[in-house]
Amino acid sequence: MSDVIARKIEIQNIIRQGNAPLAEIYAREYLAAHPEDVDYKQQIEREFEMAYGFPENFRACELPHASVDPGKYLIIKAWGHGFWSEVHHLLSQLLVAELTHRTPIPLWGTNCIFRLENTRNSISEFFQGFENPDLEKLCTEDGIYPPKWHGQNIYTENRQIFSGEYSKQSAQYFLSRTEPILVSDFYTSLTSIKPWISEKSCYFGLSEDDIYKLLFEKFIQPTDAMQAKADDFYQRHMAQRNWIAVHMRGSDKIHESPGLQKTNAHYFGFIDRMLELNPGIGIFLMTDAVQILEYFQIKYGERVLFTPSERTSSQIGVHLSTNDGHKAGQEVLIDALIALKCDYFIGNKESNVSLAIANMKRWPNGFSFLLGNEIMHYSDRLILQM
């Protein structure tokens, strides 16, 4: 049996097992390597349309002027991981809400690491502009998808996410649903949404970075309190100087990125060249690792500036070891907002923090650098295989 036939059989088996999103990833990888296989492309895309409940030749497109259908909502539950991973999950689902003409309702509940204690929904502690209705009342009406949700359990978390009926409900399953209320509790990257975007959409044909830039601009607005803290720090410590913002990961990132030390070592060539060209420039350092901070202080001395954020000397991430997740979320958001005020940025492609900073600002060419390998830890493939 040839490798091509074996791959196609594997894709069919995964579809029959009910994991169409994972099968779609494999199929699109195959088609990228075999663009001449037009017949298979037509056949397999129709199979995915049927698996997701799409009509033939379905594509999703937002309404003009950011309109929504009255009475239609997408409740976006927290993903339960790092702060900017949580935001990237939110952004993907905000895109789904826009493509399906729904009002998005982010729900950062008890599974959100950064929630404020005794608060049912902590999204408003960080970002503004989102509706925050009483979901128990909203969900009493008929027409909720998936049906594992209803008014009495809507604030329950981690309900049949990876196993059980209606588990692994990635974004594709929501694009053509007609129920008034949809509830998303599963991570989906833009990679799996892009193929189903209509040519009429403003997102069609854009890179993932460019889509993220648009989504950040449209939807992510820090609260006045968070922005004020970032502005105050900048005015008190940074306003009279040019700055390089540097985000360097340590702690638990070494488990996710075997090449982390090599990537981190690569930073210093960029930094030293910038200092050579801009002798008076300062370094605003964002790091979760005490050892990295100490090294920068030894190497660059008083040129290094940092916020009094919590850091760790271990290989356990701050967001996993802290006693105050809400404070940790505030710190990582404020650091990012300060970084956006800097002149240059150097970060890590494998970090959601760095990717967010790179996409929250329209950095001029040659002013933002992301080092290392493409992010993959929370890719659809790994999650769907769990």
**Alpha helix stretches (DSSP H) within 189-241:** 190-193, 208-219, 224-237
Give the count of domains, the chain. 3
Q: Are 172 and 21 in contact (CB under 8 A)?
A: yes
Q: Which residue has the higher pLDDT, 136 or 375?
A: 136
| 379 shares a domain with 364 | yes
The answer to whether position 58 is within a domain reads no
Q: Are 353 and 247 in contact (CB under 8 A)?
A: yes
| 331 shares a domain with 194 | no
| 114 shares a domain with 43 | no
| 72 shares a domain with 202 | yes
pLDDT tens, position by position, 322-366: 668 899 999 999 999 999 999 999 999 888 999 999 999 999 999
pLDDT tens, position by position, 61-111: 999 877 788 889 999 999 888 899 999 999 999 999 999 999 999 999 999
Sign of CA dihedral 135, 140, 141, 147: positive
Beta bridge partners of 371: 348
CA distances from 138 to 43, 182, 296 (A): 40, 11, 51
Tokens found for residue 230: 């970032």
Its domain, for residue 292, covers 224-385
| 78 shares a domain with 134 | yes
Contacts of 43 (CB under 8 A, 6+ apart): none
| 265 shares a domain with 215 | no
| 48 shares a domain with 29 | yes
Residue 230 pLDDT exceeds 60? yes
| 345 shares a domain with 239 | yes
| 277 shares a domain with 252 | yes
d(CA 235, CA 23): 51
- Segment (H or E) for 312: none
pLDDT tens, position by position, 7-31: 999 999 999 999 999 999 999 999 9
| 327 shares a domain with 243 | yes
Percentages of the chain per state (helix, strand, coil), in multiples of 5: 45, 10, 40
pTM as predicted: 0.91
